[in-house]
Structure 1
C-alpha cells in the first residue's frame, strides 16, 4: 500500500455506508459476542443517525478499496463522540488508524467541536494506546456524555 494512494472523504453514498457497516461489524463481532442495539441503530442508517444531526463519517480508500472509517457523532453544539473507528484487517499496522484519528480531530474542529469523547474497551489495547498518543485523556464515565455501549469500560476525553 502506497500512502499516496490513500484518500479520505466524508461518507456520501450507499456503498460507503455499507462499507462503514461491514468494517464495524468485523471488529465488533471479532472482539465481542454481538452487536448491541445502539450499534444496529447507527450502522443501519448512518446518514440519519450521524450525518443529518450534524456529524460526519470519514471514509478512507486505498485506491478504490474502502479500508477504514470513523464517525464523529454530535452530542451537543460543541461536544462530539469519536466512534466506530475501524480499519480493514488486511490494512492494519500501516498507520491508517493514526492518520484517520488525526483527520477526525481536524474535522471535529471544522464542525465546531470544543470537546471530543469516546468509550472503548480494554480488549482494544492498540486503539486505547492510539487515543492516548494523540492526546485523549482517561476520565471517569461520569465526566462524559455516556456512550450507549455496554461493552465500554474505557472512557476518554480531549479538549480541542
Structure 2
C-alpha cells in the first residue's frame, strides 16, 4: 500500500453503501454474536439513516479498492457520533484507521459538530487505543447521548 494512493470521500453510490454494510458486518460478526437492531437500521439504508439526517459516511479507497469506512452521525445540531468505523482485515495495521478517524473528525467539524462521541467495546482494544490516541476521553455512559448498542462497554467523547 502506498499512502499516496489512499483517498477518503463521502459515500455517494449504491456500491459504496454495500461496501459500508459488508465491512461492518465483517467485524461485528467476527467479534460479537450478531448484528443488533440499530446496526440493521444504519446498515440497511445508510443514505436515509445517516446522510439524509445531516451526517456522512466516509469511504477509504486504496487505488480503486474500498478498504475502509466510517460514519459521522448527527445526534443533535452540534453533537455527532463516530460510528461504524471499519478497515478490511488485509489492510489493518497500515495506518488507514488513523487517517480515517482524522478525516471523520474533520468532516464532523465541517458539518458543525462541537462534540463527537462513540460507543465501543473492550474486545476492540486496538480501536479503543486509537480513539484514545487521537484525543477521545473515556466517559460514563450517561455522558453521551443514547448509547445505541448493547455490546458497548466503552464510552468516549471528544470536544472539537
Question: Does TM, normalized by the shorter one, top 0.5?
Answer: yes
Task: Provide the TM-score with structure 1 as the length reference.
Answer: 0.99
**Equivalent residue, structure 2, for 1:34:** 34
**Equivalent residue, structure 2, for 1:50:** 50
Give distance in 1, aligned partners of 2:146 and 2:157.
Answer: 11
2:21 matched to 1:25? no
1:60-75 matches, cutoff 5 A: 60-75=60-75
Deviation at 1:50, TM superposition (A): 0.2
Deviation at 1:148, TM superposition (A): 1.1
Question: What SS does structure 1 have at the residue aligned with 2:58?
Answer: strand
Give distance in 2, aligned partners of 1:10 and 1:147.
Answer: 25
Question: What SS does structure 1 have at the residue aligned with 2:142?
Answer: helix
Name stretches of at least 5 consecutive residues in structure 2 with no aligned partner.
none
Give distance in 2, aligned partners of 1:11 and 1:37.
Answer: 22
Give distance in 2, aligned partners of 1:106 and 1:11.
Answer: 16
Task: Provide the TM-score with structure 2 as the length reference.
Answer: 0.99
Which ranges of 4 or more aligned residues in structure 1 deviate by more than 2 Å?
Answer: none
Question: What SS does structure 2 have at the residue aligned with 1:86?
Answer: strand
**Equivalent residue, structure 1, for 2:119:** 119
Give distance in 1, aligned partners of 2:28 and 2:20.
Answer: 12
**Equivalent residue, structure 2, for 1:3:** 3
Give distance in 2, aligned partners of 1:110 and 1:147.
Answer: 24
Give distance in 2, aligned partners of 1:134 and 1:7.
Answer: 20
Deviation at 1:146, TM superposition (A): 2.2
CA deviation digits over 1:9-53, x for unaligned, max 9?
000000000000000000000000000010000000000000000
